Structure 1
Amino acid sequence: METVHSGGRPLTRAALAGRRRALDDGRTISRRELSAAGREAAKALRLRPALRSILSALCAVWGEQAWERLIVWPSNEHLCGMTGLSERALRYGLRDLVALEVITPRDSANGKRFAIRASGGAIIDAYGFDLTPIVARRGEWASAILEATARDAQRRRSFDLLTIRRRAVSEALGGLLTKFPRTDAADLLAAQESLERSTPKRRSSGADPDIVLEAWGELQVMAEERYYQAACAGNSGRHLEQDTGSPTDPCTKAPEEEPGLIRLPEPALVAAACPVAAEFGVKLETEADVIEIGRLMRGGIGAHPSAWSEACEALGPFRASVLVLIVAQLHDDDARRGEIRIKNPGGYFRQLVRLCSEGRYGLEAELMAMCRRRMI
């Protein structure tokens, strides 16, 4: 004989597992206790809002009958009105709760949900959803919540430590670039940039901070050791310049500079601020390296040969090359961010040349600012 199905749901392992859950003999459950168990289940399983709403509605319609099983039989229309969900979303949510062994279907012959009443009108049984697993698994919910709380606490500690280590690396590298510009820190800056790309930016994301935490710790040790060695490895010595003036002279008197002397930025500072120069495979160690790269990249930024000649005549080939690298780096940063702030790099270069020759644009200050922005 072929059995005709008229609304019943297919049998699943989760449904069978839910039927095996049972309460202690003679135990009675109140609606408040059932609702509390439902909230614990939602928290332990990290249910999405729709499932939380459905589970709360099912617990709310429990009539506190003195039965062995906690059966409820609300219609889909009633549940949709309580949760505000569409019927399709409701059906999917009920299916997911059954799969999670939170509720168990108890279908009638025609798949409908209804109560069975005695001749006197008293409800003696029903077909619908069995909420017994919610209470029967309450011990599991408590254990899962404790484990989740411990994981969340460990995750918060890891993010806090990650923030501390990133800040320490930035401070050490910033100190190297500003106080000891002759110290080579290009490798540390490259490692920092690589780690920043793989570091989760928000705590709300699902990324694991532990995957980069150890690497940031190693980089912190290397950066602080480089800074320590640059500062004479902690050895104190006599100052090279002695104050031979009168103690009554004002201490704010600035040293006199030779007229016409122009301070040039260090090649190491240029390399740290403009890593785009590394694409040519040349390490900026000397002024000649900077000049050579500047000549090569002049055409890349669209600067006219007359602009290059004007820059070399007004500023010298080294400072002109530094301006080429600055414009190239700014344009490359905009391209990486998907922005177009410098629409004409060649014209921008010509404008910077004129500002620099008038003393309204400081090369070294701009290079240091670019380094700081790369460390944020």
Structure 2
Amino acid sequence: MESGSVTTPFGRRSMTLGMLASQAAARKIEPGQSADKWKLYRALCEAKPLLGITDRALAVVNALLSFYPKGELSEENGLVVFPSNAQLSLRAHGMAEQTIRRHLAILIEAGLLIRKDSPNGKRYARKEQGGEIREAFGFSLAPLLVRAEEIERLAGEVVAERLLLQRLRERLTLCRRDIAKLIEMALEEGAAGDWDGIHLYFRTVVERLPRSPSAEQVAEALDELELLRDEITNQLEMQVKTKNQGGNAQHSERHIQNSNPQSTIELEPSFEPKQGATVDDGSPGEAEPIVRLLTDEEGGEHLRGRHSAPAANSGLKSFPLGLVLQACPEIAAYGPQGSIGTWRDLMAAAVVVRSMLGVSPSAYEEACEIMGPENAATTMACVLERAGHINSAGGYLRDLTRRAERGEFAIGPMLMALARTNSPMKGKTG
């Protein structure tokens, strides 16, 4: 049994505050506390990254535990083992004695062992006449018993982290496969889009990962690739849908014939257009439109190529372009040639900003259907101005869209507040 007093190292080894703290903690064993030594050892193996010990140090712990006569660590059975270095070497698969001493020092520094040296530095035990151990000198396993719950908790955290990383890596592998095959299919089918640029971005994200990434690094890359996969899928689906609509007008009630083709406005390419590119002809090789506005020659009314906005929001007020540019000057930099002179320019800039802020095409398309294309572009410009205060631009836009659908949202107050903040006017109108 342990005497319970503070013990100092034999010879030239110095005493440290860490050793004193370990000995003080070892005296706090609860009455009747015990732990299965091999179950505890397995938890120790799992928790080694968080405890700062190596596999060689664990081999030494395994050898020490093999000298403990009982299966349960408990104070009643004594907690000191006293094998010689030669015996430890045999139980540690022939590990050199110098190596054993080095790893014993590591375990003591980590607070997992306590050295209990005899007067002459030897390891031995004094026994009673009946053979019971009265006092032993060697290594105390008391810290393992005291820290058993902590070690099991740390082992649980390591296992959970490993499982999380495994699941994230599986999702990343699936996402990478999806993107690679979608790009390959798009190139083989001759789908419109900057597939070389998309593939380059895809490879950049993948190659940025280190050889052994952490869960946080994998999660960050996965978020980017899932967004890219959604963009690619939406772009391809839009092109398929547009081809089906263009092949036969009777296939969809949303297709509206009009004798004035010059009034068609492409509001939302599936992928952001290149700087300075036009978005007005819908010819092969260009991104297909999501929403079209057709002007009736007689009444001058704007009809939607998709579902009409709900009646509750048909009166959502549009504001002058000059006011929008005064309130939201940052949007001008994303317009064609770096400026905005018309509503058409604002809509094209809103598409670029949507992609930059990570707003999905479906969220922006829904905003166009509910608010109207001009108001949706205006809202996107306001979101850009307040981007530093918005955690998720896509979620924020969807919330505004739902409120607009219920008739609970008006652009005016938000626009006027931004106009007062950014006065005098910085944009130019056409």
Identify the TM-score tier after normalising by the shorter chain.
0.5 to 0.7
Tell me the CA shift for residue 45 of structure 1: 2.6
Aligned pair in 2 of structure 1 residues 28, 199: CA closer, same or farther (>3 Å)? closer
In structure 2, give the amino acid aligned to 1:215.
E
1:98 corresponds, among 71, 96, 108, to 108
Deviations 1:224-247 (A, max 9, x none): 2332344354643438xxxxxxxx
In the alignment, is the contact (CA less than 8 A) between 2:67 and 2:81 conserved in 1?
yes
From 11, 17, 27, the equivalent of 1:13 is 17
Q: Secondary structure of 2:111's match?
A: coil
Q: How far does residue 63 in structure 1 lie from its aligned partner after superposition? A: 3.5
Is 1:35–1:60's contact at 8 Å kept on the other side of the alignment? no
Aligned to 2:327: none
Q: Report if aligned partners of 1:103, 1:133 keep a CA contact under 8 Å in 2.
A: yes
Q: Is residue 175–residue 225 contact of structure 2 (8 Å, CA) maintained in 1?
A: yes
For residue 68 of structure 2, the aligned residue among 56, 62, 70 is: 62
1:212 Cα deviation after fit: 1.1
Q: Distance in 1 between matches of 2:42 and 2:179?
A: 43
Q: Against the structure 1 CA distance between its residues 66 and 178, is the aligned structure 2 distance closer, same or farther, given a 3 Å change threshold?
A: closer
Residue 236 in structure 1 maps to residue 245 in structure 2: yes
Rate the CA distance shift 1:45–1:6 in 2: closer, same or farther, 3 A: closer
SS at match of 1:231: helix
Residue number in structure 1 paired with 2:302: none
2: CA distance, partners of 1:232 / 1:130: 74
Work out whether 1:35 is the aligned partner of 2:38: yes
- In the TM superposition, what is the alpha-carbon distance from 1:98 to its structure 2 partner? 1.3
**Distance of aligned partners of 1:120 and 1:69 in 2 relative to their CA distance in 1, 3 Å threshold:** closer
Secondary structure at 2:139's aligned position in 1? strand
**Identity among equivalent pairs (%):** 22
C-alpha spacing 1:131/1:233, structure 2 compared with 1 (3 Å): farther
Give the superposed CA RMSD.
3.1
TM superposition shift of 1:76: 0.9
Is the contact made by 2:125 and 2:133 (CA closer than 8 Å) also made in structure 1?
Answer: yes
1:102-251 alignment runs, 5 A limit = 102-118=112-128, 122-180=132-190, 183-200=193-210, 208-233=217-242, 235-238=244-247
Report the AA paired with residue 212 of structure 1: A
User: Aligned pair in 2 of structure 1 residues 114, 185: CA closer, same or farther (>3 Å)?
Assistant: same
Letter in 2 for 1:225: N
Distance change >3 Å, CA 226–CA 69, structure 1 → 2 = same
Structure 1 residues 120 and 171, CA, compared in 2 at 3 Å: closer, same or farther? closer
Q: Would you say 1:73 and 2:82 are equivalent positions?
A: yes
Kindly indicate whether the alpha-carbon contact (under 8 Å) linking 1:72 and 1:128 is maintained by their aligned counterparts in 2.
yes
The answer to which of 178-187 and 83-92 deviates more is 178-187
Structure 1 206/168 Cα, relative in aligned 2: closer, same or farther at 3 Å?
Answer: closer
CA contact (8 A) 1:38 1:134 kept: no
TM-score using structure 2 length = 0.48
Give the distance between the partners of 2:161 and 2:243, measured in 1 at CA: 41
Unpaired stretches in structure 1, ≥5 consecutive residues: 240-284, 286-376
How far 1:119 sits from its partner (Å)? 6.6
Taking structure 1 as reference, are residues 120 and 9 closer, same or farther at Cα in structure 2, changes over 3 Å only?
Answer: farther
Deviation at 1:37, TM superposition (A): 2.1
Residue of structure 1 aligned with 2:58, choices 30, 52, 62: 52
Q: Which AA in structure 2 matches 1:23? A: I
> Structure 1's 156 and 233: CA in aligned 2 closer, same or farther, altered over 3 A?
farther
Structure 1: distance between partners of 2:216 and 2:122: 44
Q: Is the 8 A contact 2:115 2:138 kept in 1?
A: yes
Task: Provide the rounded CA distance (Å) in 1 between the counterparts of 2:20 and 2:101.
Answer: 19
Task: Give the C-alpha shift of residue 170 in structure 1.
Answer: 0.9
Alpha-carbon contact 1:54-1:90 (below 8 Å) kept: yes
Partners of 1:110 and 1:11 in 2: how far apart? Answer: 17
Judged with a 3 Å threshold, the aligned counterparts in structure 2 of structure 1 residues 8 and 105 are, in CA distance, closer, same or farther, namely farther
**Would the alpha carbon gap of residues 222 and 66 (structure 1) be closer, same or farther in structure 2, given more than 3 Å must change?**
closer
TM-score, structure 1 as length reference: 0.54
C-alpha change, 1:227 and 1:200, in structure 2 (3 Å) is farther
Instruction: Return the alpha-carbon distance in structure 2 between the equivalents of residues 115 and 162 of structure 1.
Output: 57
Cα distance change, pair 110–181 in 1 and its aligned pair in 2 (3 A): same
Cross-structure match for 1:89: 99
Q: Distance in 1 between matches of 2:138 and 2:79?
A: 10
Q: Secondary structure at the match of 2:138?
A: strand
Take 2:227 and 2:103, find their aligned partners in 1: how far apart are those partners?
47
> Which residue of structure 2 aligns with residue 305 of structure 1?
none
Unmatched tracts of structure 2, length 5 or more: 1-8, 249-284, 286-430
Q: In structure 2, give the amino acid aligned to 1:61.
A: F
Q: Give yes or no for contact 2:40–2:152 (8 Å, CA) kept in 1.
A: no
